[in-house]
């Protein structure tokens, strides 16, 4: 189990250099099962001394791990993938307990985490391959790939079994060691994943895990980033927190890989398969109670088919999602999502599907809702709701649809529906300002073998497969010359 017992309490400890750090009850964090409104267990919060101990452990482990052969690193990753898959039920049930997700989603996330790990393992050789460019003379110029060094990984709470392993395994495949700042909302899930690493043969100190109370998080995070041995940061989470971490990284001259939020559009053109489009639109909007950065937040429909599409959408939502679709991970998340929609409604917007009502005894669920008539000044227009909702816009034509889709500070993912696939491809390829555009699919669509990046306010850098490993590598130029090579020209020669 991921806990240590103290005074009758189950506590997820800080994990540094292969062992639990001493418990400090004054910094315990309550982990709440929001759907039932009850205490699940505790997590140990870190202070700056704990953070620095985690960095020093990663620093000590780096020389040996960085020189471990790529074949051995790959073998460990593959063993870890097998272990993740063999522990699907344990990890999935822990996600349900800590984040109140549906068990079916929890199992899927763990399975996809194992698949993601296998893809990273398979891509290791390609990612580490250097080059020998042609140069003048007989000298050899070798561009080799070298791990950047110990890194800080800050993954989110909403998909811990995918996004946690993806970042950590990409760094480990590159030869880096890791300080994991796990979410205080799901510390036991991350502790189970770290245990998978160690059971697969990862040496002590190669991955170290800390959590922090909200009031300590900024200081703990900066202590890690400021350490001269930390060479890169990966952050996945909200844009406001990402902005603060980006400022901190810039202050200490550390590069950062960021995947932030999105206000993902779902465009329906006049020749779309409307019956299929409504299914994918609703699923993309309500999956995981809307707590997905790829969630469909904006549905943009061409006027010619809007009436039919809305009628089909009402039927789809009432049939499949009328009684809700999961729970928010915390009461605060549910309250915030509810407030964003209610604020827009008070300004004149209308609920055309659903009523934004709280569901469940703890009121952590929300009824899936589609809202129209959102004004430019409403916060909902360009703020992630992170709830089971989407805004719907009716536009005159394709050009207006594209302009509205691009009119956002975000640029993560978009979807476009049309039976003219070539035309949709051209729009996706040349006109939509997003890191990924899916033709005739939903916005939550990610495969481990394809590169995934973002533009605009949704972050920068590339995740997945060899591209994700490359984020933790640097090019090092090594040249080899004959001792009889002529001396370069010099002044006066």
Tell me the catalytic residues.
259, 293
Please tell me whether residue 274 adopts helix, strand or coil conformation. Answer: helix
Residue 403 CA to residue 233 CA, distance in Å, equals 34
CA-wise closest residue to 146 among 87, 78, 67:
67
Distance of CA 231 to the CA centre of its chain: 20
**Among candidate residues 375, 391, 219, the one with its CA nearest the CA of residue 295:** 391
Helices and strands (H and E) in the chain: how many: 14, 27
Structure tokens at 7: 């005074």
CA distance 470 to 125: 11
Name the residue among 458, 426, 414 with its Cα closest to residue 300: 414
The pair of structure tokens assigned to 226 is 């400021």
401: which 2 tokens? Answer: 């649809």
The gap from C-alpha 230 to its chain's centroid, in whole angstroms, comes to: 21
The Cα-based distances of 271 to 114, 302, 417, 421 in angstroms read: 38, 10, 8, 10
DSSP-derived letter for residue 92 is H
Compute φ and ψ for 338, nearest 5 degrees.
-60, -45
CA distance 405 to 376: 13
Q: Cα(452)–Cα(413) distance, rounded to whole angstroms?
A: 10
In angstroms, rounded to a whole number, what is the distance separating the alpha carbons of residues 397 and 109? 37
List the Cα angle 167/170/171 in 5-degree steps: 85
Is-contact 472 460, C-beta < 8 A?
no
């Amino acid at each position: 189990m991921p806990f240590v017992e103290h005074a009758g309490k189950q506590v997820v400890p800080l994990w540094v250099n292969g062992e639990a750090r001493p418990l400090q009850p004054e910094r315990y964090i309550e982990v709440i099962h929001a759907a039932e409104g009850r205490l699940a267990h505790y997590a140990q919060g870190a202070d700056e001394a704990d953070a620095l101990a985690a960095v020093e452990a990663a620093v000590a482990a780096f020389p040996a791990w960085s020189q471990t052969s790529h074949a051995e690193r790959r073998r460990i990753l593959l063993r870890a993938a097998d272990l993740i898959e063999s522990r699907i039920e344990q990890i999935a049930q822990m996600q349900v307990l800590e984040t109140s997700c549906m068990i079916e989603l929890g199992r899927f996330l763990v399975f996809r985490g194992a698949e993601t790990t296998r893809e990273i393992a398979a891509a290791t050789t390609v990612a580490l391959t250097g080059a020998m460019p042609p140069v003048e003379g007989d000298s050899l110029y070798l561009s080799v790939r070298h791990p950047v060094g110990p890194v800080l990984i800050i993954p989110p709470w909403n998909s811990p079994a995918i996004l946690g392993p993806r970042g950590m395994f990409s760094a480990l495949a590159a030869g880096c060691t890791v300080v994991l700042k796990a979410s205080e909302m799901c510390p036991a899930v991350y502790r189970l994943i770290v245990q998978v690493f160690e059971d697969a043969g990862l040496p002590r100190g190669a991955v170290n895990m800390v959590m922090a109370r909200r009031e300590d998080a900024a200081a703990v995070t900066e202590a890690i980033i400021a350490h001269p041995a930390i060479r890169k940061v990966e952050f996945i989470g909200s844009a406001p927190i990402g902005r603060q971490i980006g400022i901190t990284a810039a202050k200490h001259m550390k590069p950062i890989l960021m995947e932030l939020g999105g206000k993902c559009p779902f465009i329906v053109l006049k020749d779309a398969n409307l019956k299929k489009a409504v299914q994918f639109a609703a699923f993309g909007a309500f999956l995981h109670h809307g707590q997905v950065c790829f969630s469909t937040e904006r549905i943009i429909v061409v006027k010619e088919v809007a009436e039919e599409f809305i009628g089909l959408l009402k039927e789809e939502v009432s049939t499949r999602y009328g009684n809700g679709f999961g729970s928010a991970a915390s009461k605060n998340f549910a309250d915030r999502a509810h407030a964003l929609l209610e604020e827009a409604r008070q300004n004149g917007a209308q609920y055309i599907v659903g009523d934004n009502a709280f569901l469940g005894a703890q009121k952590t669920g929300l009824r899936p809702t589609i809202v129209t008539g959102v004004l430019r000044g409403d916060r909902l227009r360009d703020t992630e709701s992170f709830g089971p909702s989407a805004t719907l816009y009716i536009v005159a034509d394709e050009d207006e649809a594209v302009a509205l889709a691009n009119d956002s500070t975000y640029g993560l993912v978009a979807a476009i529906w049309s039976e003219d696939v070539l035309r949709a491809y051209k729009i996706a390829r040349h006109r939509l300002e997003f890191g990924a555009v899916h033709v005739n699919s939903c916005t939550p669509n990610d495969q481990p073998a394809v590169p995934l990046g973002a533009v605009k306010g949704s972050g920068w850098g590339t995740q997945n497969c060899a591209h994700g490993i490359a984020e933790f590598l640097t090019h090092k130029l090594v040249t080899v010359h004959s001792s009889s090579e002529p001396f370069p020209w010099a002044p006066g020669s």
